[in-house]
Structure 1
Amino acid sequence: MSLRFRLNLLIALLLLVFMSAVGFVVIKGMRSTIQEGVESANRVSVQLLDTVILSAYQNPEWGFPHEVLQRFLYSLGHVRSSEITLADVHGNVLYQSPHSTYHSDQTPPEWFAEMLTPEKEVVERRIKFAILTITSNPGGAIREAWGRFKNLMWIGISFFVGLNIVVYWMLGRWLKPIQPMLVAINQMEKGDLSIRLPNFDLPEFSQIAHSFNQMGESLQASTEESYRLALIVKQTADAIMIHDLNGNISFWNPAAQRMFGYAPEDIIGKSASLLMPANTEAELAKDLATIAGKEKIEQYDTQRITREGALKDISLSAAPLIDPRTGAVIGEICSMRDITERKEAEAAAQELEANRQLTQLIQRHIEDERRSLARELHDELGQYVTAIKTFAVGISNKTETKMPDIAANAQTIVAAANHIYDGMHNIIRQLRPGSLDNLGLSETLRDSINIWQTQHPEIQYTIELNGELNGLGETVNINIYRIVQESVTNALRHAQATEIAISLNRTDDNTLVLAIKDNGVGMNICNVDQTQHFGLLGMRERAQALDGKFAVDSALEQGSVITVTIPVQPTQSI
């Protein structure tokens, strides 16, 4: 039963009650009116007949009183609201008043007649030889009242029907906004939180629509936020679980299943101690105590055990789950991140750092040995070669005229000594450039460029040095020099370059930037395994050993650029 029909039915019932009350009042008034009219008419009739009877006694010549009365009654005919009967002493009816024809076309129902019929009034008069009976009869008045009441009833029925039709139509018009409201509520019940109600003319419905739309927006925002959070929880790589204060698991996301191997139905409801390695149960109790005190647990590294019994290194974070109504802690939200790869990377990094330190130590020892060897060659072998040359020159001078053959052999020894001396100096320069210890890095690089230019005059060399490059320290100097030396050697051997440019800059933020560029054939870096090219690998190791960066930029037929960036300490500047 619709609201419209119910309201219309209620109004109809109220209207029926009102009309019934009005009908009761009207009928009550009619009853009083009829009673007063009948009593008045009956009283008049009795007075009239008493007068006739008295006149008959006073004028005996008219005949017997009952005869005079009989004649009068016949002449009188019907008397409204009264029935008159004249009978002799034996009960024979001498006169019976005719039935009333007043409103004879009306036939009131019995219930109406019963409601309006007043108490019957009977008056008898005994006269000589007869009995006169006068009885009240409201039939005519009742028929007249029924006619009026029937008209009133038809008017009331017409009013009732017309009013109900108008009310039903108006209710339909007024309650028309309810239909879109029901549709919107039904759509929202099905999950469509984007449904909105339009503005209505009635202020009450307009307020309902406004409140509904606000509720929809709030629910939509909350649902979208919850959906995003659910997606995050489901799709995150971190294992997320919820414990109660007894450590029993009540939530288990897919990442936790992947990480530990337990399906939700296998782990939910069980204790989180199932994931704890042996002899670490105290850690769980400590965490739960911290959470119970409304404190967070920030990331710390620990271990958990998988379903297969394997240990996993994890980073654990936890926060208390608080009931928003009471503010009490009801559980723990725990997030675990697999840091096995990070641990392995840290171990590899530590091992790599150890290897680099070992490499740096080896290179330092190699440089020390080279320095020592260069010094030995210069001091010992150089003296011997010089002595041989001196002796050969002396022999040549003494035998030049007398023994020209010996003098020629002596000159051959001198030439060989000179050749040995030049070769020795080249070896010493390769082992350890003397200018690096005596003149510094800048002059050593310029001197090396001059030597390379002499050895390869077909190649154009350029060098650019900027910033304070002295006082960088033995380690930095020798490594920068070796990188330049290796880069130029590679360019000479493989690049087929005609131009080689070297630049070394020290920036304001104490960073050394070394760049060696050539215009050779270049190479495809993507196809080059740098770990198999010991020249590139050695330069990279030298740069990384100094906490620097090494990069190679090259393309076919576009030359190559080697860039090294090394941080230096401000205290190293002079």
Structure 2
Amino acid sequence: MSLRLRINLLVSILMIIFIGSTAILQIQDIRKQIREEMAAGTKVTVKLLSIFLSNTQISALGKNRETDLVLFLKNLGRVRAHEIILRNGIGDILYVSPPSKYKAGRYAPEWFSNFVTPKIAPFTIPAKGLSLQILPDPSRAILDAWDEVIDLVILAIAFFFILNLWSFWIISRAFSPIKSLVEGLELMTKGNLQTRLPNYPIAEFHAVTKRFNQMATALELGIKENNRLALSINQSSDALFLTNTDGMINFWNPAAEKLFEYQGEGFRNQNIRLISPNNLIHEIDTNLENILNLEHRDAFETLRKTRSGRKIEVSEKVTPIVEPETNSILGTLFVIRDLSEKRAAEKTKLELEKNRELTTVVQKRLEEERKALAMELHDELGQYVTAIKTIATSIANRSKDGDKKVYSSSTAIVSAAGQIYDAVHNIIRRLRPITLERFGLIETLKETIDELQKIHEEINFTFSAKKINLNKESEISLFRVAQECLNNAIKHSKAKNVSIDINLTKETLVPFLKPITILTISDDGIGISNNRLNIPDRFGLKGIRERIQNLGGTLVIETNRNRGTKIVASIPSL
């Protein structure tokens, strides 16, 4: 039976009890009223007749007295709800009052009459050979009361049905949110956790829907969190095992299957000791014993074996799973990470460091050779060219007014010696600029740009720099980077503007970091396409990157088709 029907039934029962109680009280009141009415009527009738009998006793005798009395009673008729019977001395009835014409022929039900009829004894008035009997007759009063009861019953029934219908409507309206609550719960049981209920004006239902929506939100968030956790576990690159306190495996993730070469249900009903070499089983035993004491073990490196028996290097972490409320141990979590990639990365890093060291040594040696070659060209070849030019000049001066052929040949030698000297000077500057040794990076770049501006008048070169503090090795590397980038811009970019900037910056958020020297070279040329940019040794970019990385710096290349190229090299300062 629904709650709504139960409440309606309860209301109906209460109404029936109320109406029944009211009916009982009403019937008792009717009985009391009839008794009082009959008693009062009897008293009035007895007094009236007693007075009349006293008068007839004084004024009339014998037969005349009976006649007068009968005549009086006939004229008197029926006295209220009383029946009057006149008898003579031998008991013969001389007169009986006529029946009541009020609601003649109708009577109240016998059970009702018996229930409300009061106990009132007949009253007899003796009068010298005559007796006047007064019989109370409450039938008319009972009939009136019955009619009133019938009216009240009809009214009560109408009121009962109207009140029931009204209460049914009120209860149905008040309980209408229950349907949406049930529908919401059904949707929740089907997995629709986005279900939300509207707010209701009734305070109790408003509180219920508020808690329902809070519960739905909490469940939805919990499911999402569980899904994320499950997804994280399934997609984790670490092998995860959940075991009981004895080491029996209850759960494992795909990474565990992949790492240890077990597929499907391969770990079902297996012990975690399965993945340990025989000589290292004691490690797992010790870890499980420590778990019973709520002790966990941080990541440590060890050996484990696959299904095929292959031993692998792993990092293993062991943690107890504890019930927060009871602090009881539910099981153990094993997190196992394959160290193969780490070892390979370490090996690659070591090889890279060796390669960088070798590159640094090669570049250092190359710079030394360039320096030595520049010195040789300057000291040896330069002196010879200078001597040749001096001798040729002397010959030209002596033969100026003499042999024309000698003079022409000697001036040609002077001109050729000058060109050779300029070429040697340019080679020396490219090999090892003298200004780099004497005045540093900024002055060398300024001189280089001035020379390039004279040669390439169609390009506008701009240079800006702040004072920096670098060692010789860093200055040489930055110079070579700038030199290579400028050559690329001149040869390939078709740029009209090339700018070089040297700046010094410091990470203010991390005060202990060294200042950073930034070399920026940009142009407005055609840019570098991705295909060309990805060619390892295209434009010498590989060499540039290696130089910067050897100094512990970074190289960033920004380029767009027909929008120029920007190269930013950053290295630590002293």
Normalising by structure 2, what TM-score?
0.64
Deviations 1:431-454 (A, max 9, x none): 434443334323433454566567
Inter-CA distance 468–157: structure 2 relative to 1 (3 Å threshold): same
Is the alpha carbon distance of 1:85 and 1:282 closer, same or farther for their aligned partners in structure 2, counting shifts above 3 Å? farther
**Structure 2 unaligned spans of 5+:** 50-60, 125-129, 188-193, 507-514
Q: CA deviation at 1:86?
A: 11
Aligned residue in 1 for 2:127: none
Match of 2:465 in 1: 466
Instruction: Give yes or no for contact 2:248–2:269 (8 Å, CA) kept in 1.
Output: yes
Greater shift after overlay, 98-107 or 160-169?
98-107
Q: How does 1:354-503 map to 2 (within 5 A)?
A: 354-375=354-375, 428-449=428-449, 456=455, 460=459, 462=461, 464-469=463-468, 472-491=470-489, 494-495=491-492, 497=494, 501=498, 503=500
Partner SS for 2:214? helix
* Cα deviation digits, residues 541-569 of structure 1 (max 9, x gap): 10111122223344555554433222212
Q: State whether structure 2 residue 284 is matched by structure 1 residue 281.
A: yes
Q: 1:537: which partner in 2? A: 542
User: Is 1:563 equivalent to 2:568 in the alignment?
Assistant: yes
1:524/1:555 contact within 8 Å kept:
yes
Structure 2 distance, partners of 1:341, 1:218, is 48
1:13 partner amino acid = I
Q: In 2, are the aligned partners of 1:122 and 1:136 still within 8 Å (CA)? A: yes
Deviations 1:300-319 (A, max 9, x none): 58789899789696897979
Distance 1:513 1:562 in 2: 10
Partner residue in 2 for 1:168:
164
What aligned pairs does 1:72-221 form with structure 2 within 5 A after superposition?
101=99, 105-112=105-112, 114-115=114-115, 116=117, 141=137, 143-168=139-164, 170-172=166-168, 174-175=170-171, 177-191=173-187, 193-199=195-201, 205=202, 207-221=203-217
For 2:198, the aligned partner's letter is: R
**In structure 2, distance between residues paired with 1:38 and 1:535:** 142
Residue deviations 1:125-155, cap 9 Å, x none?
Answer: xxxxxxx9999987xx253353133123213
Determine if the alignment matches structure 1 residue 233 to structure 2 residue 229.
yes
Structure 1 CA distance, aligned partners of 2:266 and 2:44? 103
Identity %: 17
Q: Which amino acid is 1:150 matched to?
A: W
Equivalents in 1 of 2:500, 2:208: separation in Å? 73
Query: Would you say the 8 A contact 2:248–2:272 is kept in 1?
Result: no
CA distance in 2, matches of 1:339, 1:83: 127
Q: What are the within-5 Å matches in structure 2 for residues 25-40 of structure 1? A: 26-27=30-31, 30=34
The question of whether the paired residues in 1 share the 8 Å contact of 2:84 and 2:97 is answered with no
Contact 1:275–1:305 (8 Å) recurs in 2: no
Distance in 2 between residues matched to 1:250 and 1:213, nearest whole Å: 43
Structure 1: gaps of 5 or more residues:
46-58, 64-68, 124-131, 200-204, 570-574
Question: How has the CA–CA distance of structure 1 residues 27 and 277 changed in structure 2, closer, same or farther, with 3 Å as cutoff?
Answer: farther
TM alignment of 1:326-337, pairs within 5 A: 326=325, 328=327, 331=330
Is the CA contact (8 Å cut-off) linking 2:382 and 2:421 kept in structure 1? no
Correspondence 1:3 to 2:7: yes
Partner amino acid, structure 2, of 1:478: I
Quick check: 2:461–2:498 contact (8 Å CA) kept in 1? yes
Residue 181 of structure 1 contacts residue 197 of structure 1 at CA under 8 Å; is this kept in 2?
A: no
Secondary structure in structure 2 of the residue aligned to 1:357: helix
- Please identify, of 430-439 and 231-240, the stretch whose mean Cα deviation from structure 2 is larger: 231-240
SS of 2:536's partner is helix
Query: How far off its partner does 1:476 sit?
Result: 0.5
Q: 1:37 to 1:500 in 2, by over 3 A?
A: closer
On the 8 A contact 1:38/1:81 being kept in 2, the answer is no
Offset at 1:375?
A: 4.8
Q: Separation in 2 of the partners of 1:160 and 1:265?
A: 77
Question: Match of 2:140, as an amino acid?
Answer: E
Q: After superposition, what is the alpha-carbon deviation per residue over 1:140-180, rounded to whole angstroms, capped at 9, x for unaligned?
A: x2533531331232133133224324533553565354143
CA RMSD of aligned residues (A): 6.3
Structure 1 contact 243–332 (Cα < 8 Å) conserved: yes
1:69-89: per-residue Cα shift (whole Å, max 9, x none)? 9xx99x99999679999999x
Measure the CA separation in 2 of the matches of 1:512 and 1:435: 20
1:292-311 alignment, distance < 5 Å: 292=294
Looking at structure 1, the residues matched to 290 and 299 of structure 2 have their Cα atoms a distance apart, in angstroms, of: 11
Return closer, same or farther for 1:319/1:330 CA change in 2, 3 Å cut-off. closer
Counterparts of 1:3-82 in structure 2, within 5 Å, are 3-24=7-28, 26-27=30-31, 30=34
- Residue 537 of structure 1: how far off its partner (Å): 0.4
Residue 368 of structure 1 aligns to a residue in which SS?
Answer: helix
Distance 1:209 1:24, change over 3 A: same
Contact 2:442 / 2:465 at 8 angstroms: preserved in 1?
no
Amino acid in structure 1 at the alignment position of 2:196: S
SS of 1:464 mapped into structure 2: strand
Per-residue displacement from partner, 1:335-371 (whole Å, max 9, x unpaired)?
9697879846666455434432332233223323443
**Alpha-carbon distance between aligned partners in 2 of 1:20 and 1:543, rounded to the nearest angstrom:** 111
Cα separation, 2, equivalents of 1:154 and 1:232: 75
Paired residues, number? 514
SS for the counterpart of 1:565 is strand
SS, match of residue 12 in structure 2 = helix
Contact 1:520 1:557 in 2 (8 A): yes
Query: What displacement does 1:387 show?
Result: 12
SS in structure 2 of the partner of residue 550 of structure 1: strand
Describe the shift of the 1:197–1:553 C-alpha distance in structure 2 as closer, same or farther (beyond 3 A): closer
Q: Which amino acid aligns with 2:14?
A: L
**Deviation (angstroms), 1:266:** 5.3
CA contact (8 A) 1:313 1:340 kept: yes
Residues 482 and 197 of structure 1, relative CA distance in 2, 3 Å threshold = closer
Residues 1:525 and 2:523 aligned together? no
TM-score, length-scaled by structure 1: 0.64
Aligned to 1:352: 352
Counterparts in 2 of 1:172 and 1:330: CA distance versus 1, 3 Å: farther
Give 3-state SS (helix, strand or coil) of 1:147's partner: helix
Q: In structure 2, the residue corresponding to 1:190 is in which secondary structure? A: helix
- Which residue, 477, 501, 505 being the options, matches 2:502? 505
C-alpha distance in 2 between matches for 1:224 and 1:269: 31
